[in-house]
Amino acid sequence: MTVHTVGSRRVVRAACAAAQEAGLHVGMALAQAQALVPNLHVVEANPDEDEASLRELARWAIGYSPVVASDPPDGLWIDIAGVAHLFGSEEELLSDLTSRLTRQGIAAKAAVADAPGAAWAMARYGAGGVVPTGRIVDAVATLSIRALRIAPDKLGALHRLGIERIGQLAAMPRAPLVRRFGRDVALRLDQAMGHAFEPITPLIPKETPVASCAFAEPVARLEDLKGVLLRLAKDLCRQLGRRGEGVRRLDLIFQRVDQKSACLRVGTAKANRDAAHLARLFDERLQTIDPGFGIEEMVLVASKVEPLTEMQIHARGLGEEDTGEADMGPLVDRLGARIGMRRIYRLAPVQSLVPERMARRIPALAPPTGSVWPENLPRPTRLLDPPEPVVATALLPDHPPAFFVWRKVRHKVAKADGPERITPEWWNGDKSSFARDYYRVETEQGGRFWIFRDAPTAEGGRWWMHGFFS
């Protein structure tokens, strides 16, 4: 429990869970608390240190989103717009965040909502968790009016009127409410309901390389933004060059005239400090930014840097001696900025003969594996996943089919090769007991198909179409 001095009184400022169970609460006089719990452990509150450690925590939370702000005395804002998909979903992000905090010994409660005010209320007075889009009015209505962040004297006045819940306050006529309690009560109510906008001023760690540009006049044209972006990138790269670092993640934050902010985040596959290249990564998504009435300030933050000592040498495409070993980093970055880094990959061989399991994805810039699949295996170029059933007739059991019907077309088999038996891999947890007998068949027209039977004919094996050679 910590105490601080208010006037001449010593008042409880914060109490741990055990103390709260013993009946202590924030705002209680120290003498009363000590009377309730005789061997109370009391620590003098140190608001400056609290704030500093909160800022430290906020800096840690930048791993989740570029727009993070500390909300003294005990809160953090994280603007997760546009980053939730990196964690799968908002729920997963939230559980990841809380479990990490718990592991650090910090008791935390988190909530996601459309408006910062609603998330504040839900995290402190509600159940926490994710409030679905468009449902904040319902979610907030049942909460106590203390969740509104209004001054204590006004809270008392509202209590006297018998208003306990946010829903009751929202149902009151607006004009008398403002006249009686002032504008800020109405504003807080709107912020919690998501009707009024509330800016979050992002915290930028001191040691992070930052380039910013504030405009004398608001800027809205895309070309101007691109020009400024390039200038910022050059500035940033100069800073990075002095420190011998390259960018792995870059955030671009726009401050609009109406105090709203928007941000874009791009990543690079390798540390990079080529200004023109970094500026180009934003090209595609810059047009998704709505400038509104104009943008006042642009801030470019290198939120993740890595040491980069080698300098780039532009010697590509100069002449014949140019070997094929070109640097694919910039290309992968540009593609990744368009469709996401996860969708740029290479396929590496896996020691398996089950077709669905023969390849695994590796990062596009991973070092060459050098391994290949066994070369003597005839494998189709296209795989049908999942396999489609075909009606096939074989002349003898365990012979290739003489003809088959696939997608309502009857194909007569002219030549065939097989069977090639592929057995399930019990060491990979395959429970099924059947083995697949694969046949390569060529129809009279020359089309080649990869067909398998999922069990011997005697055991009622069915036929499936699995791939196409031609």
Partner 1 sequence: MHAGQQDRLAALRLQIARMEGGSQKTRPLPFGLKPLDAHLPGGGLARGVLHEMIEAGHASEFAGCTTLFTAGIAARLKGPVLWCLTRRDLFAPGLLRAGLHPDRVIYAEAEREREILPLIEEGLREKGLAAVIGEVTRMGLTASRRLQLAAEATGVTALVIRRWWTLAEKDLVHLPTAAATRWRIAPAPSELMPAPGLGRERWQVELLRCRGAEPRTWILEACDAKGRLALPADLADRSDQAADRRAAAS
Instruction: Tell me the window of 136-144, 286-294, 386-394, 409-417 that interacts with partner 1 (CB under 8 A).
Output: 409-417
Residue 270 makes contact with partner 1 by CB under 8 A? no
Taking the C-alpha atoms of residue 249 and residue 155, their distance in angstroms, rounded to an integer, is: 45
Taking the C-alpha atoms of residue 197 and residue 423, their distance in angstroms, rounded to an integer, is: 61
Instruction: Tell me the window of 58-66, 221-229, 258-266, 372-380 that interacts with partner 1 (CB under 8 A).
Output: 372-380
Least distance (Å) from partner 1 to the CB of residue 404? 12
Question: Residues 343, 391, 393, 430: which binds partner 1 (CB under 8 A)?
Answer: 343
DSSP 8-state code for residue 343:
G
Question: Residues 60, 87, 345, 434: which binds partner 1 (CB under 8 A)?
Answer: 345
Q: Across 23-67, where does the E strand assignment appear?
A: 43-44
Q: Is 237 helix (H, G, I), strand (E, B) or coil?
A: helix
Based on CB atoms, which residue is closest to partner 1, 243 or 334? 334
Q: Could you tell me the two tokens for 387? A: 């396999």
Which residues 6+ apart lie within 8 Å of 36 measured at CB?
A: 22, 23, 24
DSSP 8-state code for residue 34:
H
Closest CA to 254 of 245, 246, 263: 263
Least distance (Å) from partner 1 to the CB of residue 88? 16
Name which of residues 433 to 452 contact partner 1 (CB under 8 A).
Answer: 440, 442-449
Based on CB atoms, which residue is closest to partner 1, 216 or 377? 377
The total of other beta-carbon atoms located within 10 Å of residue 134's CB is 9
Least distance (Å) from partner 1 to the CB of residue 359? 5
Least distance (Å) from partner 1 to the CB of residue 326? 2
DSSP 8-state code for residue 165:
B
Least distance (Å) from partner 1 to the CB of residue 369? 6
Based on CB atoms, which residue is closest to partner 1, 425 or 459? 425
- Write each residue from 373 to 402 as x if it is in contact with partner 1 (CB under 8 A), else as -, in one continuous string: x-x-xxxxxxxxx-----------------
Question: Residues 256, 265, 411, 436: which binds partner 1 (CB under 8 A)?
Answer: 411
Closest CA to 23 of 40, 43, 48: 40
Based on CB atoms, which residue is closest to partner 1, 137 or 331? 331
Least distance (Å) from partner 1 to the CB of residue 456? 20
Least distance (Å) from partner 1 to the CB of residue 385? 7
Distances (CA, A) of 8 to 5, 11, 36, 43: 7, 9, 21, 18
Residue 38 makes contact with partner 1 by CB under 8 A? no
Based on CB atoms, which residue is closest to partner 1, 160 or 316? 316
- Write each residue from 310 to 329 as x if it is in contact with partner 1 (CB under 8 A), else as -, in one continuous string: ------xx-xx---x-xxx-
Least distance (Å) from partner 1 to the CB of residue 332? 7
Distances (CA, A) of 162 to 138, 165, 166, 339: 20, 9, 12, 54
Question: Residues 415, 421, 423, 425: which binds partner 1 (CB under 8 A)?
Answer: 415
Size of the site for partner 1 (CB under 8 A): 61
Question: Residues 338, 412, 423, 459: which binds partner 1 (CB under 8 A)?
Answer: 338
Note whether 1 and 14 are within 8 A (CB): yes
Instruction: Give, to the nearest 10 degrees, the angle between helix 222-243 and helix 275-286.
Output: 150
Residue 213: phi and psi, rounded to 5, are -145, 120
Question: Residues 66, 355, 419, 461: which binds partner 1 (CB under 8 A)?
Answer: 355
The DSSP code sequence of 391-450 is: EEEESSTTSPEEEEEETTEEEEEEEEEEEEEE---GGGT------EEEEEEEETTS-EEE
Which residues bind to partner 1, rule: CB under 8 A? 284, 316-317, 319-320, 324, 326-328, 330-332, 334-335, 338-339, 343-349, 355, 358-359, 364, 368-370, 372-373, 375, 377-385, 409, 411, 414-417, 440, 442-449, 467-470
